[in-house]
Amino acid sequence: MQISDIKGIYKEVFKSYDHPSLEEHVQKIIELDAYLPYSSTFFCITNTRDLTFEYISKNMSSCLGLSKDLFVTQGMRYFWGRMHPEDIESWLQALNELMNFTLNEIALEDRSRMSYTWNYRIKNADDEYVNIIQNTTPIEFDRNDKPIIGLAHYTVLDSRIKMEICASAKLLNDNNEYETKYFNNFSQKLLTDIVSNRERDIIRLLVLNHSSKAIAKKLNISSNTVDTHRRNILKKLNISSTGELIAVLKMNSSII
């Protein structure tokens, strides 16, 4: 797939009409960036209307070894040009489905509380493809309440880790807990069909060593309901215990 083709599909997904002001957002994030330690994560402010990066954090170069100037001057086209060719179509499909889901299933008043995650591979400065997990939170919307400006965090993982292309959408609920509203595995459909969104929420909390009682409180359901979900999860995955489930998750993180 050519860069020009990617640009056309991408702009269609994020088609917009307004150019909101970003000065206040950018300034606050720049101030915060000065105090953040170096790590395997960097962040950018992405402008899907203009296909630009409004801001790039200092960690980007240490994570990928790439020049920040190229990100600034060439924008998303440069980023796309370094993406693994086998991941491009799945990545574009994931973006399109996340956008359609948001516009069709998420109420206007809830869109500012959404968080989106997907993954792909990018070539670093050593010409090695590394895994990127991108988590984006919308910070600006167009006049049709379509998210177009996002705060994107990129976590870089070793190239030897085999990752399937997945995408998810989570809503920050009234308990300040992220609740899975959408999940899809674009590499294979089996896990998506087996595990429901609610079960995925419970799995994620189990991995964090929460008890059934604690999970029930966080998800605003009863402990009996949590235990029923736990039994169903084990049955669906043909696993005998929660300990075994956690071990399986370490090998198949796309379930979460």
Q: Average pLDDT, whole number, for the chain?
A: 83
Same-domain status, 73 and 134: yes
Give the end of a domain, one of 187, 218, 242. 187
> Is residue 29 a contact partner of residue 5, using CB atoms and an 8 Å limit?
no
d(CA 121, CA 160): 11
Per-residue pLDDT tens digits for 71-108: 999 998 899 999 998 888 889 889 989 988 998 999 98
Same-domain status, 116 and 213: no
Same-domain status, 136 and 149: yes
More confident residue, 172 or 252: 172
Give the pLDDT band (50/70/90) at residue 247.
low
Tokens of 42: 């960097």
Share of the chain above pLDDT 70, in %: 86
Same-domain status, 93 and 25: yes
Instruction: Tell me the C-alpha to C-alpha distance, in Å, between residue 120 and each of 25, 51, 71, 79, 247.
Output: 27, 18, 18, 12, 24
Per-residue pLDDT tens digits for 149-193: 888 999 999 888 888 888 999 999 888 888 999 998 877 544 546
Give the end of a domain, one of 187, 202, 223. 187
Same-domain status, 122 and 195: no
d(CA 49, CA 51): 6
Amino acid occupying residue 6:
I
Same-domain status, 147 and 193: no
Same-domain status, 198 and 156: no
Same-domain status, 172 and 232: no
Q: Which of 19-23, 107-111, 145-149 has the lowest mean pLDDT?
A: 19-23
Give the pLDDT band (50/70/90) at residue 251.
low
Same-domain status, 27 and 113: yes
pLDDT for 188 equals 57
Non-local CB neighbours of 38 within 8 Å, separated by 6+ positions:
58, 59, 62
Same-domain status, 168 and 46: yes
pLDDT (average), residues 197-209: 84
More confident residue, 124 or 48: 124
Per-residue pLDDT tens digits for 216-245: 998 999 999 999 998 888 887 767 677 767
| Positions of E strands within 129-240 | 129-141, 147-157, 166-172, 178-185
Question: Beta-carbon neighbour count of residue 229 at 10 Å?
Answer: 21
pLDDT for 189 equals 47
How many structural domains comprise the chain?
Answer: 2
Largest CA-CA distance found in the chain, in angstroms, rounded = 55
Return the CATH number at 48: 3.30.450.20
Cα–Cα nearest to 48, from 83, 13, 6, 84: 13
Per-residue pLDDT tens digits for 118-145: 999 999 999 999 999 999 998 888 887 7
Q: Which residues pair with 172 in a beta bridge?
A: 178
Strand, coil or helix: what is 220?
A: coil
Same-domain status, 26 and 82: yes
> Is residue 70 a contact partner of residue 64, using CB atoms and an 8 Å limit?
no
Q: Is the pLDDT of residue 69 over 60?
A: yes
Please, is 183 exposed, middle or buried when counting C-beta atoms within 10 Å of its C-beta (0-12, 13-18, 19+)?
buried
> Is residue 59 a contact partner of residue 42, using CB atoms and an 8 Å limit?
yes
pTM above 0.75, yes or no: no
Same-domain status, 243 and 164: no
d(CA 45, CA 151): 5
Task: List the domain range (segments joined by +) for residue 226.
Answer: 189-256
